Structures are given as C-alpha cells and as structure tokens.
C-alpha cells in the first residue's frame, strides 16, 4: 500500500510503485517514476524526469534530479536514473544531465552518506560507498565496489576504477586505476587495495582469487615501482600476466584514459 503524507506535493504523470512511502513536505515534480517499496523521508525534492528503483531509502533533505548547474546545459528531457536498493542519506544532492536525452546514472546497492554531491552526467556503478561530503564534478565515472573517502573531490571527467579506495580529503585530477588505493593533494597511487581483504566485511577485493591478486601485485610493481614507462610496463604485463580478467581490466582502463592516471 502506498502511503503519502498529506503535506507532500506530487506532480503530474508521477508513477508510484507498490509500498512507496512519501514523508512530510516532500516535493515530487512531474514525470517521475518511483519503484516498489522505496521510502522517501521528509523535505526531499525529486526533480522532473527522475527515475528511482525499488527498495531504496532516501533520507531527510535529499535533492535528487535537480537542474544541472553546467553553464552549457540545455532544456529538454534531462534525466536522473537511480537503481535499486540504494541508501541515500541526509542532504545528498544529485544533478540531472545537462542535455536532452542524456542521464546522470546511479547503479544498485550504493550507500551515499550525507552531503554527498554528484554533479551532472556522472555515472556511478554498483556497491559504491561515498562518505560524507564527497564531491564529484560533471561527467565523473566511478566503477563498481569503489570506496570514496569523506571530503574527497573529483575533477570533471575523472574516472575511478573498480575496487578503488579513494582517501579522505584528497584531490583527484587524473584517473584512478582499478584495485588501487589513492590519496593526497593531488592524489597519488599508494598501493593495491588489499588491507583488511581477509577480514573486513564487504571488502571490495574480497572476491578476487588469490592467483589474480598475485598477478595484480606483479602488474602494480611493473607499472608503479619499476623503471619502465607505462607503455613498456603494459607490454611486459601482456607477455607475462595475461590471461587474467582483473589484470586485463587494469591495463584496458589505463590505455583508455584520456586524462592520464594518478602516479
């Protein structure tokens, strides 16, 4: 059964799934879709053309799908698409895309802690945790299982690889390779994200096989601890460490980088 507080304001063409709850003074604009059993607390604003999946929890004061602040933004169907089972804490801000027919996208099973800011046209994967006040510029991509520390800030168009641990209060102006820890101002790669892998609950690297960990360690040494340049290191990795899907993803990510990678 859907429950809507009498003080909430619901726009036109809004689709609410079964079991949706909407709290006091929440505003949902036109053309919004909300999936089954999603719970929305009070004083939330959900902008036009936003789509939210099922079993999400959206806490007090969040603003989702608001108009892009990009000065190049154009009017049109600018979407925000949020997947299933996301926890969005107090005062999180997620911007819609800047251009007609495009979308800011959030995957499934993510935790966005309070005051997280996700700008226009970002893409967030699955099982990402962003701590308090983490901030993404426009067009940032964060792959699955990443951990973003509090107050970390990301320049526009930066990519963050799968399984990354991004240190708190760090400044990211280049891409962060998968499976690494990066920290600093500006951020530098410090090592592989392995601390606590055997004991920490839901560690992003917990499912990586031991043989792949061994190969990733070798790849890391070639990339970051040898006298080889990046091209030479990748050539040697290809000869010695493939096939391995984790190593393959690491070198594909580096080769496709447009901003360069954190060193």
Catalytic residue among 47, 61, 138, 167: 138
Nearest residue to 172 via CA among 187, 182, 162, 159: 187
Asked whether 173 and 156 are in contact (CB, 8 A), the reply is: no
Establish whether 76 is a catalytic residue: no
138 catalytic residue (yes or no): yes
Catalytic residue among 84, 121, 175, 183: 121
Contact 241, 215 (CB under 8 A): yes
Catalytic residue among 59, 120, 139, 203: 120
Contact between 136 and 120 under an 8 Å Cβ cutoff? The reply is: no
Active site residue 107: no
3-state secondary structure the chain: CCEECCCCEECCCCEECCCCEECCCCEECCCCEECCCCEECCCCEECCCEEECCCCEECCCCEEEECCCCCCCCCCCCEEEECCCCEECCCCEEECCCCCCCEEEECCCCEECCCCEECCCCEECCCCEECCCCEECCCCEECCCCEECCCCEECCCCEECCCCEECCCCEECCEECCCEEEEECCEEEEEECCCCCCCCCCCCCCCCCHHHHHHHHHHHHHHHCCCCCHHHHHHHHHHHHCCCHHHHHHHHHHHCCCCCECC
Phi-psi region of 215 (alpha: psi -120 to 50; beta: other; left: phi over 0): alpha
Q: Which residues are catalytically annotated?
A: 120-121, 138
């Amino acid at each position: 059964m859907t429950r809507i507080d009498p003080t909430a304001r619901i726009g036109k063409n809004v689709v609410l799934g079964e079991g949706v709850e909407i709290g006091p003074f929440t505003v949902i604009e036109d053309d919004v879709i909300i999936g089954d059993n999603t719970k929305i607390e009070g004083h939330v604003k959900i902008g036009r053309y936003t789509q939210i999946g099922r079993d999400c929890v959206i806490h007090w004061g969040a603003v989702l799908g608001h108009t892009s602040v990009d000065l190049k933004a154009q009017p049109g169907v600018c979407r925000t698409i949020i997947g299933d089972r996301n926890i969005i804490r107090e005062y999180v801000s997620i911007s819609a895309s800047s251009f007609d027919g495009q979308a800011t996208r959030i995957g499934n099973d993510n935790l966005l802690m309070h005051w997280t800011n996700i700008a226009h046209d970002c893409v967030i994967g699955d099982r990402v945790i962003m701590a308090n006040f983490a901030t993404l510029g426009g067009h940032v991509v964060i792959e699955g299982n990443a951990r973003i520390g509090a107050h970390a800030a990301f320049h526009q168009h930066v990519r963050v690889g799968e399984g990354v641990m991004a240190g708190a209060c760090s400044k990211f102006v280049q891409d962060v390779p998968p499976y690494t820890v990066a920290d600093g101002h500006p951020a530098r790669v410090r090592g592989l994200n392995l601390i606590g892998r055997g004991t920490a609950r839901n560690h992003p690297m917990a499912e990586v096989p031991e043989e792949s960990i061994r190969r990733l360690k070798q790849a890391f040494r070639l990339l970051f601890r040898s006298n080889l340049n990046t091209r030479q290191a990748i050539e040697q990795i290809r000869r010695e460490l493939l096939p391995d899907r984790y190593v393959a993803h690491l070198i594909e990510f580096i080769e496709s980088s447009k901003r360069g990678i954190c060193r």
